[in-house]
Structure 1
């Protein structure tokens, strides 16, 4: 299987600037909502793992590291259910992220939402849901077009 880009990230941005701008605007709305950036970055990492998006994993690992997210949380996010280092809020948000990313397990969605309501306000839930939808959209673009991770030397 080839890993060569079908369309590069730079070309996608030139071809579809309105789509890029809309996704960036959604991300800025989430950032402006007051949700902790370290939490939304953990969600982006877990969802990008689930979707197999190397481009987004690389980008959001870099952001999370710059934010000071503990290395153990970054290392264990794929197995967060088995690691006791995540807060109740993080666990609820991660469960919601997984439920919205993998619809094949739809029965888990009600339980995930109930847990989410215990930890977050309705406004926060709305923006968490928007954050999850946004990274899923970016993942599908990046994976579908095979955006190459940007590796800095």
Structure 2
């Protein structure tokens, strides 16, 4: 059984800071955007993401889940697409088990480092119509009062 850490004498909390973000994407809308703007897929998704999704029967559902994941991470970091953070700076990769994992690059990696992010979790789900992602970033340092 894990014991709770005792509060330090200076009153600082030993509890790490947790950043969360979520996003919901309409699959038909994303599919229409990708069809109307053929270059958009390469601007938003990495080669690894495109390769993974192209091998799937319901390719647009998987792409939409990854799009939602990128948005969820932007929200958790508090950046959106500002400060040099780009779509391809957040990549969804799969562990050998199939579990989705996050890989950050460029400005997103820099922002995460500044925020003290020490671990990241992502959860993806989709139906024929909607895709959702939920991102949790665990950071060093206590929540500011």
Q: Normalising by the residue count of structure 2, what TM-score does the alignment of the two structures yield?
A: 0.25
Q: Name the one with the larger strand percent.
A: 2
Q: Which has the larger radius of gyration?
A: 2
Q: Which has the higher helix share?
A: 1
